[in-house]
Structure 1
């Protein structure tokens, strides 16, 4: 089994490009599972080939670990523009227990795609990605707990 896994990894490495315009990720979580972590591809066709290879790789792994998470892999085009964050704080009615004025904070994140936006009012701001990968749920939960 390890020979075929190594072969698939090499095939993915061969079609990957450090500055490629495409990547493969889970359509539901945006996670890039092994063997796709950190890989980019020069063309959409190469990324589709990598997705097929990754499906084979993960199916082979699943033979020895039936609990391996399943991912619905999709191809995405990389964007050069990271999301923009705009934060505003406005004075609200009343004062806090410490005598300072109450405030209301709004944070809006937006990207270059129509579907890339998020607005939060008076909610804790937490990091959900690191190094281009989604953080595990427990890491986000710890951040939320620390805000309480």
Structure 2
């Protein structure tokens, strides 16, 4: 196995050689959404190029962990980059009857969508769910990637 200090610049060079200015794919951690070095900010023209960059990013992390066992590790995964933000639309409508506290019964609909793929989820009277990790809620783009990954399978 080669010296980790030699593998770091090789991984950086691989990612830099594959990157493009306006590619439609990115490399990000599948659990946190973080875009780790050396793929931070890089975009790729094809899924294949992004996959090679993800592998180089994984190699970079392995070398960093050999040099510093406390270095954070990520799960580099390829995503199609979609700048279209998520849209959440909620509506509340009155239904028949009254609640025990004297207020009218209502029904709430929530629709999660983006401009490219249409509706992803529509819920009627479902509980509100907050996705989080140890240090706080996930960013919206992380949730979007997770939903996209699960719905595309």
- With normalisation by structure 1, the TM-score equals 0.61
Q: Deviations over 1:101-135 (max 9, x none)?
A: 45332211134458x72334353365x6xxxxxx7
Tell me which moved more, 35-44 or 3-12.
Answer: 3-12
- Aligned equivalents of 2:121 and 2:77: distance in 1? 22
Unaligned 5+ segments in structure 2 are 139-153
Residue of structure 1 in register with 2:40 after alignment: 37
- With normalisation by structure 2, the TM-score equals 0.59
Residue of structure 2 in register with 1:144 after alignment: none
Residue of structure 1 in register with 2:110 after alignment: 107
1:23 aligned onto 2:26: yes
The total of aligned residue pairs comes to 130
Superposition map of 1:1-148 within 5 A: 1=4, 4-27=7-30, 29=31, 31-35=33-37, 36-63=39-66, 64-65=68-69, 68-71=72-75, 73-79=76-82, 81-92=84-95, 93-94=97-98, 101-111=104-114, 112-113=116-117, 117-120=120-123, 121-124=125-128, 136-140=133-137
Unaligned 5+ segments in structure 1 are 129-134, 142-148
